[in-house]
């Protein structure tokens, strides 16, 4: 087997083998890049309500908290509560929290749940453990090989003699320019 056939075979087989890793890092990379626009790990919903009756701090008891949570349909989810300020009550529930302004009776129910698929693949992107470290290191080595071996897949004008050289140089120059812009 000549070197070109071996190169193509290894390039092809490593590409197939690491397709899952490529997709994990591609999707989670895009999600994490846009973390300023959305939360890629959790879906957070917020709903506003009005609490009726006397809700001064002196009259807040477990019964009053149960009454508030019952009105929100969250009574069975109570965990704990505290007063972050003299006029504020925070109630922790399974999957979220309730904030109550004791002066106005304004109440906000915030629920948090894991974003399906994204939570799991983002966790992999953040490196959850030793086995993943070894596998992702192997993936990184394979990516380096795929990058270099890909240069030698095509011959002639469409390979390194013309098109490959131009596109390869652009592919190196663009990240360097962006790096310099962000330094």
Percent of the chain with pLDDT over 70: 100
Give the domain ranges of the chain.
3-39+119-182, 42-114
Whether residue 40 has pLDDT greater than 80: yes
Over residues 140-182, the pLDDT tens digits come to 999 999 999 998 888 888 888 888 889 999 999 999 999 999 9
**What's the pLDDT score for residue 135?**
95
Task: Classify strands 78-85 and 96-101 as parallel, antiparallel or unpaired.
Answer: unpaired
Instruction: List the one residue out of 87, 56, 86, 93 whose CA is nearest residue 71.
Output: 93
Strands, E, within 10-167: which ranges?
Answer: 42-50, 78-85, 88-93, 96-101, 106-114
pLDDT of residue 154: 87
Burial class (CB in 10 A: 0-12, 13-18, 19+), 67: middle
Residues 113-144: tens digit of each pLDDT = 999 999 999 999 998 999 999 999 999 999 99
Is it the case that residue 53 has pLDDT exceeding 80? Answer: no
Q: Between helices 3-17 and 130-150, what is the axis angle to 10°? A: 140
Query: Is pLDDT above 90 for 84?
Result: yes
Q: Note the pTM of the prediction, 2 decimals.
A: 0.74
């Amino acid at each position: 087997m000549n070197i070109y056939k071996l190169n193509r075979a290894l390039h092809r087989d490593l590409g197939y083998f690491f397709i899952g890793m490529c997709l994990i890092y591609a999707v989670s990379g895009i999600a994490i890049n846009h973390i300023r626009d959305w939360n890629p790990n959790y879906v957070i919903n917020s709903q506003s309500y009005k609490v009726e009756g006397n809700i001064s701090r002196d009259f807040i008891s477990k019964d009053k908290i149960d009454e508030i949570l019952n009105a929100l349909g969250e009574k069975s989810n109570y965990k704990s509560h505290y007063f972050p300020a003299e006029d504020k009550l925070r109630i922790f529930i399974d999957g979220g929290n309730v904030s109550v302004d004791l002066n106005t009776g304004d109440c906000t129910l915030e629920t948090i749940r894991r974003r399906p698929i994204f939570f799991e693949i983002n966790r992999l992107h953040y490196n959850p453990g030793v086995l993943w470290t070894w596998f992702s290191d192997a993936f990184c080595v394979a990516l380096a090989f795929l990058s270099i071996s890909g240069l030698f897949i095509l011959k002639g004008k469409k390979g390194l003699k013309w098109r490959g050289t131009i596109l390869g140089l652009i592919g190196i120059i663009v990240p360097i320019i962006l790096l310099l812009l962000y330094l």
